[in-house]
Amino acid sequence: MIRLAIVDDQQLFRESLSNLINSIPNTYVVQCFESAKNFQEFLLHEPAPDIVLLDLQMPEMNGMELNDFLHKKHPEIKVIILSVHDNERLISSLIRSGVDGYLTKNCDKQELLKAIHNVYDQGFYINKYTMQILQQKSLHKVSSYENINGIPFQLTKREIEVLQLICKEYSNSEIAAKLFLSIRTVEGHRNRLLQKIGCRNTAGLVLFAIKYQLHIDV
């Protein structure tokens, strides 16, 4: 059972989204919150949900600020942003800040369900439309790369192979089987990729791969 929370200052949207999610098998909404502050207070006394569906534009504390708080204090909570905006700069910034998925508020039920399960199972969700937006700003393939602070670094052939399989939504065990490695070795490669690139999560790895066109098949 996937446990979700909804943080959005629009009551009608919260209620509609909650009813929709509760109609999906194996998912349910723990609670809805009209503000980031209310959600923070909830986390002081109650078990954290698996995923929070988070609006960007809210009074007092916006979605980006709450995401930063969750990443520092509750890294176990996955964050999916729901927004009316879909520009490349915003999406890139959100993924770099540690969100695990991004949806526009006009998405359909099937995409919402896919996003929830992908984030829960694989750690990220980037749909084809978002990928196309990000690819418009992508660079040509190169042999050296820059991390989020602009510092050049190198990737080994094996690290690139692992990164490409992560982009194809392979789990650590599936990557290990495909590359004839141990799961611990794959986890080590994933952690080194996070450190080298300077990103916070799997979605950040995928964003980096798209930027440098490394998401193409091995």
Q: Give per-residue pLDDT as tens, 140-173.
A: 555 578 887 778 888 999 999 999 999 988 999 9
77 versus 106: the higher-pLDDT residue is: 77
Residue 124 neighbours by CB distance under 10 Å: 24
**215 secondary structure, DSSP code:** -
Cα gap 50→27, rounded to integer Å: 10
pTM of the model: 0.78
- pLDDT at residue number 218: 47
- pLDDT at residue number 4: 98
Cα gap 70→102, rounded to integer Å: 16
Cα gap 213→149, rounded to integer Å: 19
